Structure 1
Amino acid sequence: MEASRRVKDFLHRRPVPKEPQLPEDDYKVVIRPGGGLDLTRQSLALIRDCVLRAAKVQPDIAGEDTLRINMRQNTIIMSTPSLANAKEYSNIKEIMINDKSYAAAAYVTAPENTSKGVIHGIPKYDNQEDIEKSLVNQRNPTILHARRMGLTDSVVIVFEGMFVPYFVYYRGAEYRCFLYKKQYETCTTSGRIGHRADVCPQPDSKKCHGCGVLNPTENHQCVPRCSLCGKGHLTGDKKCKERFRTPYLLKKRWWENEQQQGDERREMKNLSNTRATQAWREGYSPENPTEENGNATKDRGGRRRDRSSSFPRLAEGGREGTQHEPRSTSRSRSTRQHRSRSRAKSKTRATTSPQGQPHVGPGGGRGSQQMVSWVGEVSGESLRSGSLPQVVAEGSTLGQELNYIKKMLEQLTRENAKQRDEIKQVKEENAKLRQNQLRESSSAIASCSRILTPAPAQESGVHAAKRRAEEISPVENEDLSKPLEKKVENMLGELTKVMQQQFAGLQLQLVEIKQRIDSMENRLTLVENTQTDLRSIGAGPVKTTTKPYNRPTTTEVI
């Protein structure tokens, strides 16, 4: 029994699938049947046939009409694309089902893209025609329809669009317009919420409207309790502040604001994620190997320090099984005199410890035969001299990495030298090209000048030339000069074209040469700016030349 009850409860709480949305362009007609007709106990096809007979609409004409039952409100909804069918459905006054007549009231609902408002204080002597004439006019261009709410002085107005104005004009008088709020329908007969008494499916089972007792007597007295707010008044009373539903316009605004805020939050989250990813890529780039391995941290001053320098590294030989003295024996801190003496001899100290064993450096490797002072190590004397402290074993992975880095440096230096040679060659070629172009231009100008300047006459033919010039008439002279001028102009045009083509080719070559030089210079700067920190791989921490404190000068005690 318990299991079956749980299954029933689960099925009862199971979410009901949503009904398909009715077409937006259709006319919706609501039919409210009375007389105790329970639509949930009737067949849907039977109800549709009875509605068509009551509206006198043929089934062939109503092929696209849709019927839907609102189980909660016990009403019928007819959706039709035909205006004529909608008018017929709205005129229904009676429905005959199973040879029994039920009174009904029908009306056409407002279209989808509309909103509703309410005005109060309308005179009771105004009928429906007067109300529509007073509101649906040029002064209220967005009003589509208006009707009185029952027998009250309030009028419901249907506006086009999703905007309700603050004021409307009723026969020239300004009325404050409020958003229309639907009320929770309460039945005074059965005491249920969701339908009114005129469409109650169970009018015989009466309940007290205050406490919910079945079939109360005439002298029944009780303490009322509202089912909506839980306070001491009747359910759905005018005093109840919870009897109104939230208007759809407000819900839509809230939903749009929430959606906008959600979009803004998602954008901020995506932006923060992209910034974090960018910061991670910049901070953990291959240029900072200590950060990539997670061994780099920041001190309070913001400077980076390597975590590997906080603890001494294990020697490569120690991993293979060799033993060495502990740290306390290699670095004694027993007396201040011994400490100062050891620091004074740090430049010339041997590689063996006082016990005669090889010295183990702070990085874990064995000391080299050629020791370098800490001042020289900081200043880079060992790197400039080419002798690196052999603190890493040759067969270890660190040694292989050092050899690889050395090979890369040698390769980069060779490429640098080659690029410099190429730059020199390109510059020489550029200079040669410029000289050749200047020579060609000078030769072309000289040839042009030779053509333009007449050749000097020989001494022997001076008199003959004078005779020919005297014999030639001015008309013939002009005829001879014109073809010469044309030839000269043609030659000058050809020369200018050739010169322009040559200059354009030179400019292209110069641009290419400049680009190549720029790329080579960029590569040279990258190679020169490349710094390899060999100390962080195999050696211990670098000691600074300055001390964090000033030790007082020691004076001899007599």
Structure 2
Amino acid sequence: MAKSARMPTFAKKDEHRVVVRPRGGLVVSATKMTTLRTAIIIAANIKIEEAKDDSFAPNAAQNIIVLSTPSEARSFRYGSIRNITVEERTYETFAYKSTPDNTSRGVISGVGREEPEEQITRFLVNKHNPTVMAAHWLGNSESVVILFEGNKVPRYVKYGGFVTKCTLYRQHREVCTTCGKIGHRKDVCPTPNARVCFACGRNNPGEDHAEYCKPRCKFCGSSHVTGVGKCKNKFKTPLQIKQRQRIKQNTETITEMAPAKAPGEAALSRRFDFPEPGASGTRHEQNGVASRDRSRAEPKDVKWADVTSGRPKEARPPRPAPQEAHLSLTNKSDVNRAAMTQTSGAPNRAAAATLKEPGKMPSGGGGSEQCKKETRELKATVKKMEKAMEELQTAMAATQLTIKQQRGVIDQQRDAIRRLQEGGSRNEANN
């Protein structure tokens, strides 16, 4: 059964991947890569010239070697390695082929241990389960791990005539019970002779250590042994769940980064000619729409001239008829000019001077430096929104590809059902 392993990005997706797990204390990170490569090629009985297209990558965290080859025949040879010789010392190894891309794993429970693995494969890999590729026992339990083609795990599978529920496989996070470190298992521990208390992590514990040992989980920090019981962090997050979380996070980011514009922010955007994302038309066309909207809205009760002159607000006259609109607007402009002329006081004169100067903001509080700062913030916000949109589009494309694959599977199932029905009809006609 293939198992998962992460390969560096330089490996091609259509190549075959093999994982080599050395045992006996071989430290992958402390060994030269050329030495490991030569030892693996010799152990697989492959010529140096034939392996020139193969890629080798050490994984120091898990203390394993992951390799990629375009040849299926060489991948089987690499997968049959059981020991390698490094610097005149032989180390036991365990090699296996990793899962190909665009696959997922599920689990079914309640299978009797008396059934051989060949029968389990025969009950699952058939026309009733078109996406099943392989199956094997999950350790010593009564559960079976199933490898599916595509990123979709079906809710139910047919096993030996029974329809049973299938759940998404959650892989345990690796922790070594010998040295207590996270990332690798006991069988590939680079320090097999280390003496560490697995519960609390104390080095070289004494005989009376059990009396004052205080367990501490390295996954969640709770007061229990690492990865046992109901630890919430002992499982890895499946790839399908990560994709859904990424799509949700990108959607929320776009929603949060696109709030309604405040009046000051809208004015700043118009001042520096920053069009909004997705907007069309020129600046004058956009401002023209806003001007028409303001002209149709109801006038406010307080005039700017009334506020600056200190006069009490008065009730505004009724809205003029359409034929009197031009005359009314002319009269309003005259009134405003008169009010500004009669206004006294230093603050009002400073405000009028600010309005006349083209290089200053009407508010007088920020200046050119404040405008530049807000401009940079707006540009950074637009870039973040564009990046989030690109990530969301990529995730949506992957989802659409999965949906397309599932539709193809459904069509195959429908064709199989139709053929069975046609065969049954012919049998009835013959009888």
TM-score (norm. length: structure 2): 0.62
**Structure-2 residue corresponding to 1:108:** 97
Deviation of 1:64 (Å): 1.7
**Structure-2 residue corresponding to 1:281:** 287
Task: After superposition, give the CA deviation of every residue in 1:428-464 in whole Å (9 maximum; x if it has no partner).
Answer: xxxxxxxxxxxxxxxxxxxxxxxxxxxxxxxxxxxxx
For residues 460-479 of structure 1, the aligned pairs below 5 Å read: none
- Looking at structure 2, the residues matched to 245 and 30 of structure 1 have their Cα atoms a distance apart, in angstroms, of 19
What's the secondary structure of 1:101's corresponding residue? strand
1:45 aligns with 2:34: yes
- Looking at structure 1, the residues matched to 48 and 199 of structure 2 have their Cα atoms a distance apart, in angstroms, of 46
**Structure-2 residue corresponding to 1:230:** 221
**Structure-2 residue corresponding to 1:340:** none
Equivalent of residue 311 in structure 1, options 302, 306, 309: 309
Question: AA paired with 2:222?
Answer: K
Compared CA separation, residues 162 and 305, structure 1 to 2 (3 A): same
What's the secondary structure of 2:303's corresponding residue? strand
Compared CA separation, residues 309 and 157, structure 1 to 2 (3 A): closer
- Looking at structure 2, the residues matched to 167 and 538 of structure 1 have their Cα atoms a distance apart, in angstroms, of 79
Q: Does the CA contact (< 8 Å) of 1:167 and 1:177 recur in 2?
A: yes
Q: Does the CA contact (< 8 Å) of 2:28 and 2:63 recur in 1?
A: yes
1:536 aligns with 2:335: yes
- Looking at structure 2, the residues matched to 241 and 235 of structure 1 have their Cα atoms a distance apart, in angstroms, of 11
What's the secondary structure of 1:41's corresponding residue? coil
- Looking at structure 2, the residues matched to 212 and 527 of structure 1 have their Cα atoms a distance apart, in angstroms, of 85
- Looking at structure 1, the residues matched to 215 and 260 of structure 2 have their Cα atoms a distance apart, in angstroms, of 52
TM-score (norm. length: structure 1): 0.49
1:82 aligns with 2:71: yes
- Looking at structure 2, the residues matched to 164 and 309 of structure 1 have their Cα atoms a distance apart, in angstroms, of 69
Question: AA paired with 1:303?
Answer: D
Deviation of 1:215 (Å): 2.8
Compared CA separation, residues 269 and 103, structure 1 to 2 (3 A): farther
What's the secondary structure of 1:40's corresponding residue? coil
Task: After superposition, give the CA deviation of every residue in 1:238-275 in whole Å (9 maximum; x if it has no partner).
Answer: 44232111111111101012223334455666899889
Q: Does the CA contact (< 8 Å) of 1:186 and 1:192 recur in 2?
A: yes
Task: After superposition, give the CA deviation of every residue in 1:306-354 in whole Å (9 maximum; x if it has no partner).
Answer: 4278439xxxxxxxxxxxxxxxxxxxxxxxxxxxxxxxxxxxxxxxxxx
- Looking at structure 1, the residues matched to 149 and 126 of structure 2 have their Cα atoms a distance apart, in angstroms, of 13
Deviation of 1:166 (Å): 1.1
**Structure-2 residue corresponding to 1:134:** 123
- Looking at structure 2, the residues matched to 203 and 62 of structure 1 have their Cα atoms a distance apart, in angstroms, of 32
Identity among equivalent pairs (%):
34
**Structure-2 residue corresponding to 1:551:** none
Equivalent of residue 190 in structure 2, options 201, 210, 224: 201
Equivalent of residue 302 in structure 1, options 292, 295, 300: 300
Question: AA paired with 1:35?
Answer: G
Q: Does the CA contact (< 8 Å) of 1:191 and 1:206 recur in 2?
A: no
- Looking at structure 2, the residues matched to 92 and 530 of structure 1 have their Cα atoms a distance apart, in angstroms, of 95
Q: Does the CA contact (< 8 Å) of 2:305 and 2:336 recur in 1?
A: no
Task: After superposition, give the CA deviation of every residue in 1:380-434 in whole Å (9 maximum; x if it has no partner).
Answer: xxxxxxxxxxxxxxxxxxxxxxxxxxxxxxxxxxxxxxxxxxxxxxxxxxxxxxx
1:22 aligns with 2:11: yes
1:240 aligns with 2:231: yes
Q: Does the CA contact (< 8 Å) of 2:216 and 2:222 recur in 1?
A: yes
- Looking at structure 2, the residues matched to 274 and 124 of structure 1 have their Cα atoms a distance apart, in angstroms, of 70
Q: Does the CA contact (< 8 Å) of 2:22 and 2:94 recur in 1?
A: yes
- Looking at structure 1, the residues matched to 43 and 206 of structure 2 have their Cα atoms a distance apart, in angstroms, of 39
Question: AA paired with 1:253?
Answer: R
**Structure-1 residue corresponding to 2:162:** 173
**Structure-1 residue corresponding to 2:388:** none
Question: AA paired with 2:157?
Answer: V
Task: After superposition, give the CA deviation of every residue in 1:123-171 in whole Å (9 maximum; x if it has no partner).
Answer: 2122332221111111111111111122222221111111111111221
Bigger Rg, structure 1 or 2: 1
Compared CA separation, residues 22 and 528, structure 1 to 2 (3 A): same
Equivalent of residue 34 in structure 1, options 23, 41, 48: 23
Unpaired segments ≥5 residues, structure 2 = 1-6, 271-282, 311-316, 318-322, 341-431
Higher relative contact order, structure no. (Cα contacts within 8 Å, ≥ 6 residues apart): 2
CA RMSD of aligned residues (A): 3.8
- Looking at structure 2, the residues matched to 141 and 100 of structure 1 have their Cα atoms a distance apart, in angstroms, of 47
Question: AA paired with 2:252?
Answer: Q
Compared CA separation, residues 256 and 21, structure 1 to 2 (3 A): farther
**Structure-1 residue corresponding to 2:51:** 62
1:99 aligns with 2:88: yes
Unpaired segments ≥5 residues, structure 1 = 1-17, 292-297, 313-377, 379-524, 542-558
Compared CA separation, residues 285 and 94, structure 1 to 2 (3 A): same
Q: Does the CA contact (< 8 Å) of 2:195 and 2:205 recur in 1?
A: yes
Q: Does the CA contact (< 8 Å) of 1:309 and 1:540 recur in 2?
A: no
How many residue pairs were aligned?
A: 305
- Looking at structure 1, the residues matched to 96 and 168 of structure 2 have their Cα atoms a distance apart, in angstroms, of 21
Deviation of 1:532 (Å): 3.4
